[in-house]
Structure 1
Amino acid sequence: MTGPEDPPSFRLAYVPGATPGKWVRTWEERLPDVPLALVPVAAAEAPEVLRAGEADAGIVRLPVDRTVFSAIPLYTETTVVVVPKDHLLTAADEVTVADLADDVVFHPLDDVLGWERLPGKPAIERPATTADAIELVAAGVGVLVVPQSLARLHHRKDLTYRTVTDAPRSSVALSWPEDSHTDLVEDFIGIVRGRTVNSTRGRQRPDDAKEGKPKPPAARKPAPAKGSRPRTGGGKGGAKGTGKSSGSRGRPRRRS
């Protein structure tokens, strides 16, 4: 907890595979006086970290409890199968769940895909973590299906991966507790959504709001009344083609 005398700061939790770097760089450019601290968390632990106030917002995996948290979906990942480089599955660019039927498919305890039914043959026991499952794949014991970012995070020279076209997919979102929607959270939302510095959708300081107030539209000349003739230009000759002076408007002369 920070006291009222403490300078402002922003803590951003992020799960394995998430890459908040580009948003952090934009934050540092726009709010150089507000430090941003990154808080790495396991996917399953992210909601509790946010609920406990240990981070102001988080890059998390969906779903989240929408009665407690607000969330802005960011992207949905491609799902891949991680295999040894000499595995038969590497002969194709893409595979299906049915293609995994003859392989042992590991299901780590920190799995984020939420399988209804795991494909392939079950392992004797579940690995504790994705990192442990990767070690087993490298040993040639089985294969592992994960979001592509996790395959990249645990990259090894002796392993590769292929897209699984019909597997469950994992979505990533920016999330924060509904009752903790602070000004700094709104600033980060603006960055994630690609708002510019001068965007009116983001938070504004009072002075900025005054300076950015649009000018009232210029007054327009009233339209001529219905049925009236427009005034035409002319000199001494008055109205065009009449030959009469526009200045003499007295009574007509009496005939003798």
Structure 2
Amino acid sequence: MDPFRLAYVRGVTPAKWVRIWEERMRRIPIELARIDEPEQVSTLRDGRADMAFVRLPIDRDGLHAIPLYEERPVVVVPKDHAIAAADGVTLAEVAELGEPVHPFDPAVEDTLALVAAGVGSVVVPQSVARLHSRRDLVARDVTDAEPTRIALAWLSDPRPPRSGEQQHRIDTFIGIVRGRTANSSRR
């Protein structure tokens, strides 16, 4: 049987939803793929994934998206940096740090290595900073920055059209993410 293919951007932890899927849909394996933010929409449009946890905003043309939660942005600096002593910083204070290292490089580890070497700072979602935490770096909340939002997305009108089984899988996963029980009449 073909697996249900679920993609997720860096920082999203789909484990609890995958566990529930595996309990409810034992005969249908789930295949996970971590994707980088620049490819989150193309992964759905070119059929590499049935659904994806994406970081908004995205081009929603031809997509459904259910916003799930927000993440606070943090600035990452070397642990001996003056900002390390603060609980949080503002965007103006981040701007005073000088030229930032560009975030969401497909090789986040390389970006963080530059930050650790004192080359700049980087603002990333808190989950990304936590995922790639290092002893030589600290992350501090950017208190006045807009949070990023995580959503579950899928194609609204795929070509060719979905089979009944494919639609059932999508409906089931939506129900899982929304917290519906196995006995729910809405899946």
* Residue 180 (structure 2) pairs with residue 195 (structure 1): yes
Q: Which has the higher helix share?
A: 2
Higher-Rg structure is 1
Distance 1:101-1:13 versus aligned 2 partners, 3 A rule: closer
Question: Which residue of structure 1 lines up, in the alignment, with residue 51 of structure 2?
Answer: 57
Maintained 8 Å contact 1:105/1:145: no
Q: CA deviation at 1:170?
A: 1.4
- Runs of 5+ in structure 1 lacking a partner? 1-6, 112-127, 203-256
- Quick one: distance in 1 between partners of 2:122 and 2:47? 34
2:81 matched to 1:103?
Answer: no
Alignment of 1:160 with 2:154, yes or no, is no
What residue number does 1:185 align with?
Answer: 170
Following TM superposition, where does structure 1 have runs of at least 4 consecutive aligned residues deviating by more than 4 angstroms?
Answer: none
How far off its partner does 1:29 sit? 0.7
Distance in 1, matches of 2:130 and 2:180, equals 29
Structure 2 CA distance, aligned partners of 1:78 and 1:154? 16
Give the gaps of 5 or more residues in structure 2: none
TM-score (norm 1): 0.66
In structure 1, give the amino acid aligned to 2:31: A
Report 1 or 2 for greater relative contact order, CA contacts < 8 Å, sequence distance ≥ 6.
2
User: For 1:13-41, what per-residue CA distance to the aligned partner results, in whole angstroms no more than 9, with x for missing partners?
Assistant: 11111110110001111111110000121
Q: Which residue identity is paired with 1:89?
A: I
TM-score by length of 2: 0.89
Alignment of 1:45-124 (within 5 A): 45-108=39-102, 110=104
Contact 1:61 1:170 survives alignment (8 Å) = yes
The structure with the largest strand share of the pair is 2
- Whole-angstrom distance in 1 between the partners of 2:186 and 2:79: 49
Residue equivalent to 2:154: 176
CA RMSD for the aligned pairs? 1.7
Structure 1 contact 94–165 (Cα < 8 Å) conserved? yes
Q: How many residues in Structure 1 have an aligned counterpart in Structure 2? A: 180
Can you list the C-alpha shifts for 1:18-69, whole angstroms capped at 9, x where unaligned?
1101100011111111100001211111211111111100011112333310
Q: Residues 108 and 129 of structure 1 are in contact (CA less than 8 Å); yes or no, is this contact kept in structure 2?
A: no
- Equivalent-residue separation in structure 2 for 1:76 and 1:89 (angstroms): 24
- Looking at structure 1, the residues matched to 108 and 146 of structure 2 have their Cα atoms a distance apart, in angstroms, of 17
Separation (CA, whole Å) in 1 of partners of 2:56 and 2:135: 30
Question: Which amino acid is the alignment partner of residue 86 of structure 2?
Answer: A
